[in-house]
Structure 1
Amino acid sequence: MLFDIRTIVGALLGCYGLIVLATGLFYDNDLQEAKTGGININLWAGIGMLVASVVFLAWVRLRPVQVPPTVDTTPDASPTAE
């Protein structure tokens, strides 16, 4: 489960989402909101990233990777056409 790409993507989205969310909560000013039409875009983008992170990590938990059974590669005793 650790090396599943969904785990890595979910963890990265979670980390970036927390950083962007904190930026939106603590470092928001009127100049930045004027650029986005009065919307605190960092706040909403951070929330969106955290939601996507939860979706990815839930996907990993609910649908784990199924490892196929191993194939027997020993040569069999059946005659071959030559």
Structure 2
Amino acid sequence: MRLLNKVGNVFCLTEFHDDTVPPYAILSYTWGADDTEVTFEDLIGGTDESKGGYAKIDFCVKQAARDGLQYF
């Protein structure tokens, strides 16, 4: 399983195997227009943070932190 976390302003993707998966948050939302949603490449490459989809991911980061979770 691959989970995201955010360290400073950088998104990090961490892969977990077997029973080592930590507690994590799941964000459920509806998809917007293709040009506003954040792709895997956007997250990892740190590109085009002006896309509207980043607001959804930023909400997930903040909610996970409020719930005491590092990963989402």
Give yes or no for TM over 0.5.
no
**Normalised TM-score (structure 2):** 0.31
Larger Rg: 1
